[in-house]
Amino acid sequence: MVSLLDARTFRVHKDSATDEHGRPLASAQERGRTGWRGALDAAGPGSAAGFERTVDVVDPRGRPLLTVSRASSHVRKPVTHVLRPDGARLGTVAIASRKGRPYYPFHDAYGNLVGEMRTVSPRTGKPRTRLRAVAGALQTFVGGTFDITDRLGTVYGRVDPDDPWLATEDAPRTITFDPGTPQPLRVLGLASAVCLAVVRGHGS
């Protein structure tokens, strides 16, 4: 079975990733979920969102693949670090805004810009109701459908929710990478797509 790190197309369902046929590729395990942060979130969902968060991405046998760690947003804009299992840095994902739309710049371990994940309009289908049309327009700005591009704007990856007109961070989504996507763009895009709420500084 192909590894999540090598899969061209895979699906994410909140805390897990599968291949196109539903076979498990990985799961996301958040540290501290059962501690005080878990209790705080149970009392008020999302209330622990601004605190530091660390998620381990492991394969079906429990072997670590990546660690995704976001700094606290209480004192500064949060930056998410993507690490190898041995702790070596692969790069970072930041949060920025362009013409009112959020985007997520990727930097390698040396601080060089390598690309970004940016919000785009829903790619497929049409809204079935006016409410969904309004929701889809909002998705263009708050984000549900994303392109993963290099620093020159070439699209190498795509993030498509099952329902692009009413997408949430927990909604099932399909991630597709073009063959030959360069590193570390691929691994930073993969980590962002799997741990979307962490990268965006939402929820817990």
* Annotated domain spans of the chain: 9-200
pLDDT at position 47, please?
Answer: 47
Looking at the predicted structure, is the pLDDT value of residue 121 above 60?
A: yes
Q: How far apart (Å, rounded) are the C-alpha atoms in residues 80 and 85? A: 16
Burial degree of 84 (CB within 10 A; 0-12, 13-18, 19+): middle
pLDDT of residue 40: 43
Measured between alpha carbons, how far is 3 from 6 in angstroms, rounded to an integer? 5
179 burial (CB, 10 Å; 0-12 / 13-18 / 19+) is exposed
Better pLDDT: 81 or 130: 81
Averaged confidence pLDDT in the chain: 80
Structure tokens, 77: 């804009």
Residues 11-19, mean pLDDT to the nearest whole number: 90
Indicate whether 186 pLDDT > 80.
Answer: yes
Report which of residues 100 and 69 the model is more confident about: 69
Q: How confident is the model at residue 137 (pLDDT cuts 50, 70, 90)?
A: low
8-17, 63-72, 145-154, 190-199: range with lowest mean pLDDT: 190-199
The per-residue pLDDT for range 82-92, each reduced to its tens digit, is 999 999 999 99
Segment 134-138 mean pLDDT: 52
Q: For residue 64, is pLDDT > 80?
A: yes
Global pTM value:
0.82
161, β-bridge pairs: 173
Tokens found for residue 31:
């540290």
Half-sphere exposure of 121 (CA within 13 A, CB side): 7
